Amino acid sequence: MTKIKVMSENLANKIAAGEVVEKCASVVKELVENSIDAQATSIRIDLQGGGLKEIKITDNGQGMEREDAILAFQRHATSKLIREDDLFFINTLGFRGEALPSIASVSEVDMVTCASDIGTHIHIKGGKLEINEPSQARQGTIITVSNLFYNTPARLKYLKSEQYELSNSVSYIEKLSFSYPNIKFELTNNGKTLVKTSGSGNLLKTIHEIYGLNVSSNMIEVKGQTDDYTMEGYICKPEILKSNRNHMITIVNGRVVKNNELNRAINDAYFRYKPDIKYPIVILKFETDPTLIDVNIHPTKQDIKLSKTAELYEMIIDTIKDKLYQELLVPNALKNETKEISLPKSMIEEPKKSDSQDLHEDIQTELDLFTSSNDSKPSITISEESSDYNPQIKTTNYKSFKDRLLNPEFKNLNLYVIGQTLGTYIVCQNESGLYLIDQHAAQERVNYELVQEQFKNKETTMIDLLIPINIELNSSDFLKIKEHLEIITNLGFKIEEFGLNTFTIKSHPSWLKEGHEEEIIHDIFDEIIRQGENFDRLRFNNKLIATIACKMSVRANTRLSREAMEEIINNLENCRNPYNCAHGRPTIVKFSTYDLERMFKRVMN
């Protein structure tokens, strides 16, 4: 007797359900995508108990005839994929014919559908057809799924709480509404509406309907193109950030996807505009030839493979960086609540043209430090001026910037220094309001770009130490440093082994701040030890420069002279990014005249 047998169709469907249907949101996803493929313009999702009790999808799509309605629940039955070559030209969200039979095998499904004069009512329980009868004629489909995983207890016990399952469904419908702003979506739970979009076709209006005024009024429209990809959508100003990547929404050919390459490009484009632990709200839609992507690598079809990723990465970086350069990114300290949406400036006037070559240089400076050579060793000129505060470095000589007008919007603020408060914030004003500048963050940004520029120009001087600095480590850390010793020497240090598990530093580059040499050296060692085998030279170099810039900058609770404050403001105007320090914190916030007058009740609206 043979040991190998062909499994039953019902068993095969249950196995497929384990891959396709992971949670309640998986059912919502598959059924709503079927409605979209059926060209529905209105889709309603009604949940009971977050979907644990019942999931009901109502659409006004094409519907199905009786024969198709029955056939749709057979495994691999689909109207979207017929020939083998069709795999290379997938233009629909579904195509494998696995979702409906998988869902029906582990739940109770009730469907009423109509494509002509007579509708069809089908009821399936655990994969078995129980009802097949005519029904009322209503264009579209109503499908109800209940008792999910009732016949697979092992999977049932892994369903989470109602709130967890509900949040996943809500999150996906929100993202799908950005992909299809022309479709009216409504999601309810226990009769309460949680998501509702108008189907207006306006992406910014959909963003407003999902995220609210505070986000929609701080979005910037972007458009980009290569020979193979077109990109459009909205990015947020750096003042609107989230603590996770869930709001970095990427859509490829109408499909909401999770792709590490796209997310990395978006995150890198915001480099130094935000802290590393914060992430932007971004909705970007990409269109490309279906032959350049592979959506058939994961059962959920949310992870895809992209071709020509290098060109796509560069386009995303260039487009987002260019837009951020053009915008005035000074955040308002107080948010005005108004009824009308304040449209981004880019939607009501032509974007300013930028020099693409200069932009490319800026991006390379920010992201690709030291890639041209590992021998660059910078120097910084020390100033011995005397005043209430002695600036640590002269920061006015931006040789490579003198022929360019950087951040004209920021320069045009024409800030006038009126004083200092709390020993930490420089107080400025202009005709539109009051500005507070964090003196440490502002000078850290100036120092960061100066050190960065000098590394780029490969200027170097070395300082020999009269008394060498000895760094003693444990055995494992000593071996890690020894493995990456070339990195330290290329930074401009003369380092040698000195006895057991000890290194001695005999000279160092002049950019080390006097009095902090040993502290910075320890920081460099700690970072190399922490990263170990995952050592990333680019990230290390940027973190190093940020650390140096931080330690070179004036601290909080330091009294400054007016001249010192004016110098910081003037130097900040010459920076590529005057809005954030090297660690992504804001350098400046604004209190508008209207905000102040409203606070003091000089205006009452």
Same domain assignment for residues 405 and 311: no
Q: Are residues 276 and 381 in the same domain?
A: no
Name which residue leads in pLDDT, 494 or 334. 494
pLDDT at 543: 78
Weakest-pLDDT range from 64-78, 288-302, 379-393: 379-393
Mean pLDDT of all residues in 408-436? 91
Question: What's the one-letter identity of residue 138?
Answer: R
Per-residue pLDDT at 330 exceeds 70: yes
Of 160-174, 391-405, 449-463, which one has max mean pLDDT? Answer: 160-174
Domain shared by 431 and 508, yes or no: yes
8 pLDDT band, cuts 50/70/90, is: low
Residue 591, beta-bridge partner list: 434
Instruction: Kindly state whether residue 277 falls inside one of the protein's structural domains.
Output: yes
**pLDDT over 70 percentage in the chain:** 77
Residue 600: C-alpha distances to residues 418, 455, 589, 596, 605 (Å): 21, 49, 19, 6, 12
CATH number for the domain including 218? 3.30.230.10
Q: Is 353 a domain residue? A: no
Number of residues in the chain = 605
Check residue 88 and give its pLDDT: 52
Domain boundary among 196, 226, 257: 196
**367 belongs to a structural domain:** no
213, burial (CB in 10 Å: exposed 0-12, middle 13-18, buried 19+)? middle
Same domain assignment for residues 426 and 506: yes
Co-location of 166 and 296 in the same domain: no
Kindly state whether residues 178 and 288 are assigned to the same domain: no
The mean of the pLDDT values for the chain is 79
Q: Are 164 and 235 contained in the same domain?
A: no
Per-residue pLDDT, 56: 96
Q: Is residue 512 part of a domain?
A: yes
The domain containing residue 387 runs over which residues? 373-605
CATH number at residue 63: 3.30.565.10
* Degrees to nearest 5, angle at CA 281 with 277 and 284: 125
**Same domain (yes/no): 558, 513:** yes
Q: Which residue has the higher pLDDT, 82 or 169?
A: 169
**Which of the listed residues 166, 196, 226 is the one where a domain comes to its end?**
196
Does the reported pTM lie above 0.85?
Answer: no
Same domain for 456 and 386? yes
Domain contains 443? yes
Q: Is the same domain home to 408 and 522?
A: yes
Given its phi and psi angles, is residue 142 left (phi above 0), alpha (psi -120 to 50 degrees) or beta? beta
Residue 359: band (very low, low, confident or very high) from pLDDT cuts 50, 70, 90:
very low
> Total domain count for the chain?
3
Q: Is residue 354 part of a domain?
A: no
**Which range has the worst mean pLDDT, 34-43, 130-139, 288-297, 485-494?**
288-297
Please tell me whether residue 464 adopts helix, strand or coil conformation.
Answer: strand
Asked whether residue 351 is assigned to any structural domain, the reply reads no
Residue 178: its pLDDT value, please? 95
Residues 6 or more apart from 438 whose CB is under 8 A from it? Answer: 424, 425, 581, 585, 586, 587, 588
- CATH number of the domain bearing residue 437: 3.30.1540.20
Token pair for 338? 């108004």
- Selection from 43, 11, 39 nearest residue 28 by Cα: 43
Range in 210-219, 306-315, 334-343, 538-547 with the lowest mean pLDDT:
334-343
The mean-pLDDT minimum among 38-42, 134-138, 397-401 falls in 397-401
Rg of the chain taking only CA atoms, in angstroms: 30
**Does 105 lie in the same domain as 65?**
yes
Within this chain, do residues 285 and 219 fall inside the same structural domain, yes or no? yes
Q: Which residues make Cβ contacts (< 8 Å) with residue 1, sequence separation at least 6?
A: none
169, 196, 223 — which closes off a domain? 196
For β-strands 502-509 and 462-472, DSSP reports them as antiparallel
